[in-house]
Amino acid sequence: MFAIIAAKDLRELTRDGRLLWAGVLVVVLMLTAIAVGWNRHSQVSNERSAGQALDYDAWLGQGYRHPHNAAEQGMHVFKPEPPLAIVDPGIEPFVGSTVWLQAHRQSELKFRPAQDATGLQRFGTLSPAWVLQVLIPLLVIVIGFNAMSGERERGTLRQLLSLGVPVRSLLLGKALGLASCVAIVIAPAGLVLAIIAVASLSPGERLDAVYRLTWLVAGYALYLGFFIFLTLAVSALVRSSRAALVLLLGFWVAATLIAPRSASEAANMLYPTPSRLEFDQHLAHDMGAAAGESWLANFGVRTQWDPSLPLSKWGAALKVDDEAGYGVLDKNFGSLWDTFERQQRAQQWIGLVAPVVALRGFSMGLAGTDFAQHRDFSTAAEAQRRTIQDIISKDLIEHADPLGNAHFTYKAGPELWVTVPRFNYQLPPVSFALAHHWPSLALLAVMFCLSVALARYAFSRPLMR
């Protein structure tokens, strides 16, 4: 019975023009977003893989030179962009993708603590995810606000109920009708994405993308289902279509436009992050202190690169100096990143009143464009830097000149450079994203169930008033 109601609603919505105009707009935006995203992704991926290869080739081909000079020049590593960044670019546009692996310190990571402290989840980038998160709920409201109030106002509800249609079938039919409209609007984008996946991804990537897309579909289905049942509940509860529209639009503005920003600000107030200047000053202070202690313990001098230290010890000194910094860098960056993750967890809970907040985290996570995966890359890049440092220091120790006068004339060659492995970062698997974002999915499921319960309550009340 509910399929009959859904088919009728779909036919009615198609004919009255609302679905056509709103749908065409959304389809055009979705396809534009995919086209822009695909173009950007292709360009970025090509540039990064080319950059990565060139940079490593340059490292290998740097000829004969002092190893420390080579370490100072370092190399660059490039973060691969996950294929589903086309769907949800997440924080990718706001964080760097390239890390300079230089001697002595962890290079500046480009999420800029001071500037992006509350902005990891910025709003407003045109992407399929943004359309799904912001515009599709609006579409649901625009086509569904009078699903029940309109039937009541026109008098067709009397006709329907007089036939002995169970309210449960009515609710399911209306929900299915709205869901069908959403599916029709989303389908072209889904088709295009499927073609892109088949045409451009390797079998391994394709399988991973399918897993990720399956979870994404589940998350978005819960989110849009929430809006569908909420719209039906409000339409059944209020006396007029106009009131239903005003209420639902008010909720949409609050839940999809205001809440994400407020959530971000609230999370930052709860777990404040330092400004960039503060962070740098604190890091420099800790690095200096740790190095001082280490130099004193190992070489009996209080200042780094003290002139009293024989040149033959410089290799060992480099190693001591670097290793003293590892712990400090881990502590400072770890603390900062932990704060970002605490902020995101705090934001997740705001998903209980504004499910878009929960969805955004989940969507970015499954697309591979969230902070957790950015952190994973940064950690891998730092590990590569330390590998280079350790290899260089080891080589300098091995080639230390006992007399000291040949220290700066020593030159290493390709046989040393090639011992530095190629940076081969693999994006974390889907289980990594799920481990980080299952609470968001659970919250979405809770919100969906609540909306269904509200709709059932609304439909169980006397509908003829």
Residues that bind other proteins (CB under 8 A): 1, 4-5, 8, 11-12, 15-16, 154-156, 158-166, 462, 464
Query: Whole-angstrom Cα distance, residue 214 to residue 226?
Result: 18
Task: Name the minimum Å distance from CB 152 to other proteins.
Answer: 10
Task: Name the minimum Å distance from CB 247 to other proteins.
Answer: 25
Q: Which is nearer to other proteins, 162 or 431 (CB)?
A: 162
Per-residue DSSP letters for 288-355?
Answer: HHHHHHHHHHHHS-SSTT-TTS-GGGHHHHHHHHHHHHHHHHHHHHHHHHHHHHHHHHHHHHHTTT-H
Which residues have a Cβ under 8 Å from the Cβ of 35 and sit 6 or more positions away? Answer: none
Query: Whole-angstrom Cα distance, residue 362 to residue 216?
Result: 8
Amino acid 235 reads S
Which two structure tokens, joined as six digits, stand for 365?
A: 């996570």
Task: Name the minimum Å distance from CB 195 to other proteins.
Answer: 35
Query: Whole-angstrom Cα distance, residue 346 to residue 20?
Result: 39
Query: Whole-angstrom Cα distance, residue 121 to residue 334?
Result: 20
Q: Which is nearer to other proteins, 2 or 371 (CB)?
A: 2
> What is the Cα 434 distance to its own chain's centre?
13
Q: Which is nearer to other proteins, 151 or 376 (CB)?
A: 151
Which residues have a Cβ under 8 Å from the Cβ of 388 and sit 6 or more positions away? Answer: 71, 74, 75, 101, 420
Task: Name the minimum Å distance from CB 5 to other proteins.
Answer: 7
Q: Residue 70: which of 296, 393, 340 has the closest Cα?
A: 393
Task: Name the minimum Å distance from CB 43 to other proteins.
Answer: 46
Q: Which is nearer to other proteins, 158 or 239 (CB)?
A: 158
Q: Which is nearer to other proteins, 6 or 366 (CB)?
A: 6
Q: Which is nearer to other proteins, 450 or 463 (CB)?
A: 463
Task: Name the minimum Å distance from CB 160 to other proteins.
Answer: 7
Task: Name the minimum Å distance from CB 463 to other proteins.
Answer: 9
CB 326 within 8 A of CB 393: no
Query: Whole-angstrom Cα distance, residue 332 to residue 282?
Result: 8
Q: Which is nearer to other proteins, 145 or 226 (CB)?
A: 145
Task: Name the minimum Å distance from CB 20 to other proteins.
Answer: 12
Q: Which is nearer to other proteins, 162 or 308 (CB)?
A: 162
